[in-house]
Structure 1
Amino acid sequence: MSKQVIVIGGGIIGLCSAYYLQKEGHQVTIIDQSNMDAGASYVNAGYLSPSHIIPLSAPGVMLKGFKWMFNSASPLYIKPRLDPDFLKWTYAFNKSCNPNHVKKAIPVIKDLAVLSQELYADIREYEHFTSQYRKDGILMLCQTEKALEEELKTAYLATEEGLEVNEVTLADLRKLEPNVKLNVIGGTHFKCDAHTTPNEFMAEMKTYLKAKGVVFYANEKVDDLEIKNQKIVALITKSHRFHADEFVLAAGSWSASLSKKLGIHLLLQAGKGYRINTSRPTGIKLPAILTESKVAVTPMNGFTRFGGTMEIAGINDKINKNRVTAIARAATKYYPEITLTESEKDNAASGLRPVSPDGLPYIGKSTKCSNLIVAAGHAMMGWSMATGTGKLVSELVSGKKVSLDVTMFHPDRKF
């Protein structure tokens, strides 16, 4: 049965949800408070990474966060503040940083990322998208024996999950990257991974959805949700009053504040990431993670992107120059012949990634609202999990059997 569905949020999760919803025959409207041309969906590394199986809330991460708390250039920066939501999130995050949680999370993260990668490829084929999609794998580059040892442990876990990954020596890397000098001792090569150019895919998806009748409302902030009998009966913006049968909350880092209007308390914090682009030739062929620095490198269409850091400091779009400088320094540290210019650093951009306490997204229907599907909290895996999330959303709205078990993604889960 065709339904009227409103998707709150025009980022990659919202667009992919709209894509599969319209495929099911639903009438879809997307509402976003921005112009839908910037933010995390546009500045990310473009990875489709089943390899990223370890959740952010892993053993030792909280301790690192405390150590790095007073270093604004550190890979993970958690700004302390006396905010009740932040304190609840911090407590839940700390509880999740244990081996048992990681063991349970690995297979569900992997399954959603693998499904999503397959669906990205399907969309490009079926819809004749021409945006970049390359399955060259991703390198994990290490400068120290300690980092290499940790990466080999992760590679072993990935192999146990059926993912293709090899250890690579410096000699191997010289063959894989013949046109660039590397200052590393070795690493691993996750052949299972792919990469894209985000702005290309976003543009193609929006064009496709508009052609299929999906209605877009940009620069429309949701001011209120009218509730009756645990059901949304109206969505209210400054200039419109919207009605629908079903609603999808895919508003990224803003999802927590909107969910409160429904009595749903999603624990979410905005994790800011940064990117620097250079259109100058770098010689880099393969995407890579600069392991010790936690910086991602992606050869995109027409430019190379260097990005990273996780800055949990509330919702804001301020550019922290120290963090931009740290990314640029990491680039030169691992690729000695590459130096990012002051102009390139000045043109750095940031995006806010919605981070849940346990490193797993919220996907599903809360018991507190019968016509709302939550799709948020993907942290650094939003791009990698977007198509799979969109498909799950459409199956939940349509009352179909879901492609994956969503129990661990439930928005009402306890921490």
Structure 2
Amino acid sequence: MEKNKKVLVIGGGIIGLSCAYFLQKEGYEVTVLDKSNIDSGASFVNAGYLTPSHIVPLASPGMISKGIRYMFNSSSPFYMKPRLDLEFLKWSWYFKKSSTKAKVEKAMPIIRDINLFSKELYEGIKSSGDLGEFQLENKGLLMVYQTEKERDHEMEVAKKASELGLEVYHLDKEGLRKAEPQIEFNAKGAIHYFCDWHTTPGQFMEFMMGHLLKKGVKINRNEAVVDIETNGDRLLRVVTDQSSYQADEVILAAGSWTSQLAKSLGLKLPMQAGKGYRINVEAPTNISTPAILLEAKMAVTPMHGFTRFAGTMEFSGINNTIRKERVAAIAAGAERFYQGLKISEEDKSKAQCGLRPVTPDGLPYIGKTSKFDNLTIATGHAMMGWSLGPATGKLVTEIISGKNPSMDLEAFHPQRSF
């Protein structure tokens, strides 16, 4: 490694900050750029899960037909807004091609491995004391069901997870009561994935930024990239609306905006923004264990100082429009499962959304392209961005350092075919 090698990270979400964390540990001089104030978006509104149990990619059999079925219902859990957009139509075709049983079977162990690797790195960050005392708890994840149909479907996933070596149990109604003794569920039971952990995203992001600044990483907020100058197979200069930067290595980790920046470089990264919503409830709920409410297709997480109710996957392009009917659907779903729970109008009015970058096959893009020697792509993590932040940061650092990566990166290649 060249001494004081300069690395520019475009994107200050969990992926970008995780890259900065491991790069500065290797002795690189790191600058992070973000067009926002780094206090909102997908890295702040997610469910906070570290999820080895989420072994099935979004692109799985039946999802396209679900999307078509839900297309004209804007409060549905999986909403694809009808629109004549060539990029969206291409992505939808690739998504359909990726949604086969064989491709899903091939993806599952890869998803498990990168999630377990990332969980170990989260534990390493915690034990290092670098960030101070942030929430990182291992209470597992309850997949709570109200119908036999959802139970049977989740039992199939649980069987595969168990075969892949993950710790999973089936809880009947009494078992669910023991797992959450202070809660009365309107449910028949749950699958308990004990391998999962949870955090409070905003807390972790704040602590991570504080640590990086202390270590000399520059974090430049509210600065948008307007041009990237190239010469042959090198990126020469990154121009923003405020300044310009030269770096030995550039990492493109701008989440849902990465495709636009890649396009300006002549690179195709098929990706769509999948909008998710969250409601925070500060009043006590007695909820102590994270849960996915299967029929409602939503997540519940006890966080540091509040309970988060999150969910939905909305494909409606890059925008931060909050659809009130989708927020209402999350609140109603939670109230159907937790007896006595009432989410106030005030809590609903403070709902926020974030855009998750979704690839056609549900696997992220991590690696270099054949076009530029000093560019590394790190994006496309869909609903697993929070879970996979540290793993991606570590892998990117290994790529830039020329070390053997901790995982085979072939499945994540930015130029893979669909």
TM-score normalised by the chain length of structure 2: 0.99
Which residue is equivalent to 1:237?
240
| Residue 203 (structure 1) aligned to one of 203, 206, 216 | 206
Matches within 5 A, 1:110-189: 110-128=112-130, 129-189=132-192
| Residue 7 (structure 1) aligned to one of 6, 9, 15 | 9
Which residue is equivalent to 2:45?
43
Q: Structure 1 residue 324 and structure 2 residue 327: aligned?
A: yes
Q: CA deviation at 1:81?
A: 1.2
Contact 2:296 2:334 in 1 (8 A): no
Contact 1:151 1:187 in 2 (8 A): no
| Residue 216 (structure 1) aligned to one of 214, 219, 235 | 219
Q: What amino acid is the match of 1:349?
A: Q
**SS of the counterpart of 1:115?**
helix
The percentage of counterpart residues that share the same residue type is 53
Aligned residues: 415
Contact 1:262 1:369 in 2 (8 A): no
Matches within 5 A, 1:283-362: 283-362=286-365
Q: CA deviation at 1:156?
A: 0.5
Which residue is equivalent to 2:80?
78
**SS of the counterpart of 1:274?**
strand
How far apart in 2 are the matches of 1:237 and 1:388?
28
Long gaps (5+) in structure 1: none
Long gaps (5+) in structure 2: none
CA displacement 1:309-328 (0-9 Å, x = unmatched): 00000000010001000000
Contact 2:80 2:316 in 1 (8 A): yes
**SS of the counterpart of 1:51?**
coil
How far apart in 1 are the matches of 2:351 and 2:170?
33
Contact 1:5 1:26 in 2 (8 A): yes
Contact 1:13 1:382 in 2 (8 A): yes
**SS of the counterpart of 1:199?**
helix
Q: Structure 1 residue 32 and structure 2 residue 68: aligned?
A: no
Matches within 5 A, 1:390-401: 390-401=393-404
How far apart in 1 are the matches of 2:334 and 2:290?
13
| Residue 93 (structure 2) aligned to one of 91, 96, 99 | 91
Q: CA deviation at 1:93?
A: 0.4
Q: What amino acid is the match of 2:24?
A: Q
How far apart in 2 are the matches of 1:146 and 1:84?
36
How far apart in 2 are the matches of 1:230 and 1:75?
43
Q: What amino acid is the match of 1:294?
A: K
How far apart in 1 are the matches of 2:86 and 2:154?
36
Spell out structure 1 runs of 4+ moving beyond 6 A.
none
How far apart in 2 are the matches of 1:320 and 1:239?
33
How far apart in 2 are the matches of 1:29 and 1:127?
23
